[in-house]
Structure 1
Amino acid sequence: MSASGVPALSAITFGMPAGPTVAVASTYTPGATPPVSGAPPLPTAFVFEQDAWPQLDVPPPTDSDEVQEWMTELDGVDIPDIDPTVDGSCAGDPSAAANASARGWWTCGGWTRPSDITACPDKMTWGVSFDDGPAPYSEKLLTYLNAKDIHATFFAVGSRVVSYPDILIEEYMTGHEISVHTWSHHPLTSLTNEQIVAELGWTRKAIKAVLGVTPTTMRAPYGDIDDRVRAISNAMGLRPIIWTTAPDHIPFDTNDWRVAGGDVTGLQQFATFQSILGNASIMDTGFIVLQHDLYEITVDLAVGYTLNTALTHSPPFSLKAIGECMHMAPSDMYMETTSNKTQKTRVITGTQTGGAPPLGSSVFALLSALALGITGLFFA
């Protein structure tokens, strides 16, 4: 066990004994001033009442007044007439996979569009992000990030937001960026338009209820996005963010989720991460890396090994939140404070920016979760 309380890399593996969670380091009273210029004060302390929210970890119903109101945001927007995929995977929908380039499906082929954020522009800059929280071990990660003066982008799941509001508040109030990662972490391409709107809308609503601000960015679970999902996201004022794919078509996915899922060991994961840094060193741009703060294993890998390795690399990488690495003002990360009040991209055109294997990392994550029969297991 290291001084930071992280086990040896060889000991970080599926089934390892759980360590203690870390108490929230700082509490913030309603009315406190956020570190974002022009942001409203923190709202009244959030109290979760199940009747006011959809069932946790389940795609929300589409017949609510809220969803019907959010559907009007799509009025006048050209939403591509693309059928939902069977399950968001290439193997589960061969017909959709064969047409992946035309539909701009990232899962099958790594297809992206100019409206997507996929890499930091400056060489040797790492866009730090963590998916699937907030969660009980997120505080351990926050302690490390704040001590190292590193900001990250947290892609928050709505069901987790209403479950752990104090952790989300600390992330926001200590200068980290908050983004939308859907309500139930379901593959978005497999959902109807109304279901996608519900997933995004309820998460926006949860974040605003807790923080008083609405994010202007989103990340699709498993990276499962196509032109229909993009158009709906952009119409709702949410710009998609994906992680980087290297020129050799290898995604900048640390595979921390595969350790938590029992597929690989910590040692194997770290070898994958070192190959990412090797690719990153020879790229002309920066990059965005996928990591997770849902489980103790993924947090331990980050605070004990991957982040330290990037900081001590020769030459060292500059670790920044994604909006920061994109030279976006902190205020532009939220609808209430952004200078861009027309945050809606109506036209989606473009080409592939790097491919992915026929079964990308996002799909392996999904299939692993399904194979394990763990309905509450979230990755990406």
Structure 2
Amino acid sequence: MILYRVPFLATFLVIVKATATNTNDADVTRASSAEYVQSSPAWLANVKVPTNVVTQLPFDDEIKAGPLPKEPFKLDLNSYPKPNKQPPVDHPEVQAVLKHLDFSIIPKSKPRIVKDWVFDMKDYNRTDPDCWWSSSLCKKPKVSYLPEDISICPNKGTWGLNYDDGPYKMWWPTSEKQKEYDQPRFYNYLVEKGKQKATLFFVGSNVINFPEAAQRSLSDGHTICSHTWSHPQMTTLTNEEVVAQLYWTHKAIKETMGITPKCWRPPYGDVDDRVRAIAYQMGMRTILWDQDSNDWNLITGRLKTEVVDNFFKGWVDNRVSGNDTDHGHITLQHENSNMTIQMSEKWLPILQKTFKVMPIHQCINDPHPYWEESWTYPTLDVPEPPRQRSSAGNLGANTSMASSSYYSNLAEAILNLSLLGFAVAATLI
């Protein structure tokens, strides 16, 4: 108990409330209006988290290249939907999430119609009332409480490094050669290239199929975001199907890595305000991109390696020549095949010489990509976030740095008041 002498408690409460709001801006993303305040997903509160993973950002000297552990991480796969399939909406866990959401403030637009991966847009209003990215590349929602999609790094010369569709493992290899690019090959490569960190958009089906690689990515200091359960075009789904896609991915990530991401990326960039609103109520903000490497077309055979090389060469040349000065970039890349991984390994050293390469949350100055307060990542303003070593290195360190910061600011506010002659009794936990 710390006692300060003060009669004007009402004034104290106003000041402390302002301090607390500023402190928690990174942890509770407030809407631009009073319509909706985003909060941690309550339906994940009882998910059992693993005990063999890091619980705060690792120090660089703790990050090592090497193989995955020989002992597999055991998940009850029977408790999850079938991988790479649309999860059923009548599952009790999905129904529980639906009860938490306020559908009265979710746009009523109908699911889109698609045939052979092409959307039917003949009857869609050209004014784009739904901010449908697939129609107009819209990134600024028309719904007042939704924040603008993250699609660029604000500072020129920065490169928000990110990879979709991991963790990568060939599902049905027919030879050892085909497994050569399975993780942690690329994660080891990133370690060897200056312990480079990236934002990884994980598919839930891949997380449960390859949990050891997912855990490895976290212990390497990468930032993890959701990329849905089975990678569908999200605007084609019903509200309930959208919830199922996001819920099972969130659960797989939390049960495997112990984290709850505040970020997600819609497959193919396909998102509108209806889907954004559901994701936002489920605790996530939408992240897109401003440059597409088209490396995913290497798998389909639609593009040759030389074409994708020319995209990267053009971006590098533009920066070197001084013509790329408006803002930094978030470039769409993938870790979903031998070819995309080869392309990434080829160009990363060149990007590192040309740009300041970093994860997306670092380039946008957001230190808290998860709802768990013990995770604080580097930002441009604070490149070395406060961390605490445990006796076993970083594993099992359970300190809440964000919480500590809050109480530190609270104590400072009380002390400042005491110097003015006010008084209050406060207990710091």
Same fold (TM over 0.5): yes
Structure 1 regions of 5+ residues with no counterpart?
Answer: 1-28, 38-43, 245-251, 341-380
Match of 1:273 in 2: 312
Match of 2:293 in 1: 254
Shift of 1:100: 6.3
Shift of 1:95: 3.5
Alignment of structure 1 residues 221-370 onto 2, 5 Å: 221-244=267-290, 252-278=291-317, 281-304=323-346, 306-312=347-353, 316-329=354-367, 332-337=368-373
Report if the CA contact (8 A) 1:254-1:289 is conserved. yes
User: Which structure: larger Rg?
Assistant: 2
Report if the CA contact (8 A) 2:330-2:360 is conserved. yes
Q: Which residue identity does 2:330 align to in structure 1? A: I
Structure 2 regions of 5+ residues with no counterpart?
Answer: 1-49, 59-70, 141-146, 170-181, 377-429
Deviations 1:316-339 (A, max 9, x none): 20110011111111xx11112289
Q: Which residue identity does 2:334 align to in structure 1? A: H
How many angstroms apart in 2 are the aligned matches of 1:103 and 1:90?
20
SS where residue 292 of structure 1 aligns?
Answer: coil
Alignment of structure 1 residues 1-380 onto 2, 5 Å: 30-36=51-57, 46-75=73-102, 78-87=105-114, 91-95=118-122, 97-99=124-126, 101-113=128-140, 114-136=147-169, 137-148=182-193, 149-244=195-290, 252-278=291-317, 281-304=323-346, 306-312=347-353, 316-329=354-367, 332-337=368-373
Report if the CA contact (8 A) 2:89-2:241 is conserved. yes
Shift of 1:32: 4.6
Shift of 1:265: 1.2
How many angstroms apart in 2 are the aligned matches of 1:121 and 1:277?
18
Report if the CA contact (8 A) 2:263-2:285 is conserved. yes
How many angstroms apart in 2 are the aligned matches of 1:155 and 1:100?
31
How many angstroms apart in 2 are the aligned matches of 1:59 and 1:323?
29
SS where residue 284 of structure 1 aligns?
Answer: coil
SS where residue 130 of structure 1 aligns?
Answer: strand
Report if the CA contact (8 A) 1:129-1:290 is conserved. yes
TM-score, normalised to structure 2, is 0.64
Distance verdict in 2 for CA 1:258–1:173, change over 3 Å: same
How many angstroms apart in 2 are the aligned matches of 1:301 and 1:292?
9
Q: Which moved more, 1:66-75 or 1:197-206?
A: 66-75
Shift of 1:308: 2.1
Q: Which moved more, 1:155-164 or 1:81-90?
A: 81-90
TM-score, normalised to structure 1, is 0.72
How many angstroms apart in 2 are the aligned matches of 1:168 and 1:339?
17
Shift of 1:99: 4.0
Shift of 1:168: 0.6
Shift of 1:242: 0.2
How many angstroms apart in 2 are the aligned matches of 1:293 and 1:322?
16
Report if the CA contact (8 A) 2:55-2:258 is conserved. no
SS where residue 135 of structure 2 aligns?
Answer: coil
SS where residue 103 of structure 1 aligns?
Answer: coil
How many angstroms apart in 2 are the aligned matches of 1:290 and 1:89?
23
How many angstroms apart in 1 are the aligned matches of 2:214 and 2:123?
37
Shift of 1:156: 0.3
Deviations 1:340-374 (A, max 9, x none): 9xxxxxxxxxxxxxxxxxxxxxxxxxxxxxxxxxx
How many angstroms apart in 2 are the aligned matches of 1:47 and 1:88?
39
Report if the CA contact (8 A) 2:296-2:334 is conserved. yes
How many angstroms apart in 2 are the aligned matches of 1:294 and 1:89?
21
Report if the CA contact (8 A) 2:53-2:257 is conserved. no
**Residues matched between the structures, number:** 293
Q: Which residue identity does 1:333 align to in structure 2? A: P
Aligned-residue identity in percent: 35
